[in-house]
Chain A
């Protein structure tokens, strides 16, 4: 780590002010991505602004939506009886992230701000058509993700919460990268107020994306069988030492089908 300043403001306004006008300042949530990056000296922030005292954690479930504060950690989402009742797929997704230590620290806001192309939450946000609320605006999922590690957030903008419409059916299946256990191919399928939506993480070169061919097929008939013959081109897929682009494209098909089966 390089030396950096550290502040732990107690209001959102102070946090935004601390981040404003300083491109090298960094917000700190659970630190599960930021701290390893700092330890490897890949980033040299002027100051780290700790978001833990802003009152941004908590879960609110109404009849048709689940709203999760940005600083809510994965373990809390996974264990929430309300989330399990309203969107069980979301609780299950949170419970499948990393290990216990990571789930006790990592947050939904941090995950979405980071937009790792292999992260799990982005697929839920995109498939459910969630809305991301920041200190200054609301951003729809379709506008939010802009390629790997890239989002619609402006510099210094802080996510405060994420609101998910409750779907009729949803499931997330993750085919894990054998080493990192992030998603090598993760598919979130949802049939809800925003229609039938299928979001794929881990597979695409541009990060999370919607699998429109699968959506079209499932819109006609919500069943695993209706995905027969639906494929996705290998170009545009990621390729690394664990999986080539054609293998990932193949897995998108298998995992999507399994997700639909799981969603029932």
Chain B
């Protein structure tokens, strides 16, 4: 019997799932350390206020309390660092106000931590936290970028005049103006990208631990990138050298970006553990997650397209205000600039583009990358603009896209906004998506729906994203303060099983399966004999973690390179054993063979020889079969595709149902089709959530109104439909696997497809644009107004 095929291309079942679904996962909150204490934060319930006084005396003497700390106690440690520096148009660096671990002198958003209580039990810590007396003097507060930019708006940071973080631009302004001047038609659209709360299923947890014998610190934390946290917290906040600090991110229950960043709670528990000589554990409750996990999106934009009479795009002009929240989260400044404005060419050959982006402080939770990060905002803007062009001019949404796509033979394609796409075929993804969605049959379905009193609409969106983040030199020149290579250490054990130590981190993506498949394919080792190790800075080499759909394109490539080294070394050992020339050794299916003969040694025989080097070329090579490779990508990868959404609206209530959703994505080579399908479906579910349901709403005083699941609408199974997922792939040209990435495509392509469908359904009611979420009330309002106008 043949062993089942478990290499590249096989839908191998996810190895990790049995552990997850049978309660055997090991999440941070499952970890408890001997003699552990519990931390509870006292947070601001005011959006903006001066701290007049803090009295911790009652809390300190409460039962079980070990310590109470405020900013005063943390005077010796640094603020939370920002990992990316943007320069404004005039060349000046962005305003980078201090982000204190605990509020210093002022609170700037609801949820801002003011003090921490550490006690023997969580209950005692909670009790004592309530005993802290805090006198706050309210200041005027603003939640929106437009309010924060008004003259006379409350100043949130002394060193960010007018609440502006930076005023940045990209592209050729003059060429864009010139193109607009000779345009036959200009279509302008004002739009907003709604603010979202990531809501990973597992809330954040951090445990600080300190070893009094070695004076080593350990932080167990819910992170997507333990080494990044070690560097940021060790070097910039606590002043601990890397060899004295270990960061462990065990099983992590979803991140979607929100667990990339270094948070105040991590620094607090680590610092306090050293101070107290005892472990300190903090577990967020869901209410805290809403007001302390970095939020996503929140853009206010104006987009304008200049067209010639035939509908060719001549130039695009964009102006965006991006909400940063009250402080700069770790990668926040990069999101509305290099992850957003550089994507504004999309799938189109628009020859000139000019975009201006102003990042603005408000009295809200910090905003940072959330699944897709900048690219969903760019895609929403472009794809809504294209449909609005059709609305205003009468062009057909399919025809105008086909007409303006980057031609198949134009790759590599240099966009006017810095990126160079290596490969793609937007014609095929759209053609297949329309076929899979039975686009041609839509009019009949619309008529059938109309007969039942329902409004049907269909919407298309095409997208292009840049991921596989990122070439270090490129991002360095753009302001990144980190390298974005990846690393893998491949250890072939003496009997031939393999451990892979990867710098990427799995928090739902299925790396333990996908990455093992790479080893099965390249080294011929059975899938069951491969283990993927990640998430512990004491076990893995210094890698950058998982976000920006980078794990396979960057981390997987590092693995390929390390395995190349294993094979090269194995060939030398095999040549020695087989008494042949190295050049004559071929490696395939786990076996080193003398070319043209049947003389061969298996990888496990070679491994055993490497560790038991009795008969070994010891003067030429070292014993062992253990190789490491670092890989810095030559370019981003560029997945793209087309999503088609069909909706049905109940005109009496305004309720939208998704009746069909079709995704056809180009993700490069597919390693595990089942996992790709799951990733796309999950992303689409989040995109439908953004389009129809989710919204982090602040009132005009910057109080978070949707601060719990009673008011923040997560997508649920009955809000969705069966999502048809297919891929039509072109290969990435600059990594050996040809992979592009699939983690974010679903969340990028879907929101405009849904909104284009909703707006198409409401065509007869005179609607041109609607911001997300397309709530029943908004839709009913449009229908109602449309009816009144018709009367």
Contacts and interface: CB of A to CB of B under 8 A. Distances in A.
A85 interface: no
Contacts of B781: 247
Interface string B4-36: 000000000000000000000000000000000
Interface residues of A, number: 18
Interface string A7-50: 00000000000000000000000000000000011000000000
Interface stretch (B361-369, B372-380, B455-463, B707-715): B707-715
Interface stretch (B294-302, B319-327, B474-482, B772-780): B772-780
A178 B713 contact: yes
A156 B652 CA distance: 44
Candidate in B287, B653, B697, B712 with the most chain A CB atoms within 10 angstroms: B653
A243 interface: yes
Nearest to B654: A247
Contact of A242 (B126, B130, B777, B784): B777
Interface of A is mostly: loop
A241 B127 CA distance: 32
B575 interface: no
A232 interface: no
B780 A250 contact: yes
A179 B773 CA distance: 13
Nearest to B693: A178
Nearest to A254: B652
A179 B712 contact: yes
Contact of B713 (A179, A243, A244, A250): A179
B58 interface: no
B709 A179 contact: yes
A53 B561 CA distance: 68
Given A41-B126, A175-B653, A247 B711 contact: no
B712 to A, nearest CB: 6
B705 interface: yes
B457 to A, nearest CB: 20
Interface in B733-791: 775-777, 780-781, 784
B653 A251 contact: yes
Given A40-B287, A251-B653, A178 B775 contact: yes
A244 B777 contact: yes
Candidate in A1, A2, A40, A179 with the most chain B CB atoms within 10 angstroms: A179
B717 to A, nearest CB: 11
A121 to B, nearest CB: 19
A242 B695 CA distance: 10
B497 interface: no
Interface string A129-151: 00000000000000000000000
Candidate in A2, A3, A242, A254 with the most chain B CB atoms within 10 angstroms: A242
A228 to B, nearest CB: 13
Interface string A55-78: 000000000000000000000000
Interface in A188-221: none
B174 to A, nearest CB: 44
A24 B776 CA distance: 41
Nearest to A253: B652
A241 B711 contact: yes
Nearest to A180: B710
Contacts of A247: 776-777, 780-781
A241 B705 contact: yes
B129 to A, nearest CB: 10
Candidate in A3, A243, A247 with the most chain B CB atoms within 10 angstroms: A247
Contacts of A250: 780, 784
B775 A242 contact: yes
B724 interface: no
Given A241-B697, A242-B777, A180 B126 contact: no
Interface string B159-183: 0000000000000000000000000
A180 B709 contact: yes
Given A179-B712, A179-B713, 15 more contacts: A2-B127, A41-B126, A178-B713, A178-B776, A179-B706, A180-B709, A180-B711, A240-B711, A241-B705, A241-B706, A242-B711, A242-B775, A243-B777, A247-B781, A251-B653
Closest 10 CB pairs of A and B: A179-B713, A180-B710, A178-B713, A247-B777, A254-B652, A241-B697, A179-B711, A241-B705, A243-B777, A254-B653
Interface of A: 1-3, 40-41, 175, 178-180, 240-244, 247, 250-251, 254
